[in-house]
Amino acid sequence: DSGVVQSPRHIIKEKGGRSVLTCIPISGHSNVVWYQQTLGKELKFLIQHYEKVERDKGFLPSRFSVQQFDDYHSEMNMSALELEDSAMYFCASSLVNSDYTFGSGTRLLVI
Phi, psi of 6 (to 5 degrees): -115, 145
- Bridge partner list, 88: 37, 107
Instruction: Give the nearest distance from C-beta 110 to other proteins in angstroms.
Output: 18
Instruction: Give the nearest distance from C-beta 97 to other proteins in angstroms.
Output: 7
Q: Determine the interface stretch with other proteins among 19-27, 59-67, 69-77, 84-92 (rule: CB under 8 A).
A: 84-92
Applying the rule CB under 8 A, the residues between 3 and 62 that interact with other proteins are 31, 33, 35, 37, 40-43, 45, 48, 50, 55-56, 58
Give how far Cα 95 sits from Cα of 2, 28, 72, 99, Å: 16, 8, 12, 7
- Bridge partner list, 12: 109
Strands 106-110 and 101-102: unpaired
Name the site residues for other proteins (rule: CB under 8 A): 31, 33, 35, 37, 40-43, 45, 48, 50, 55-56, 58, 88, 90, 92, 94, 96-102, 104-105, 107
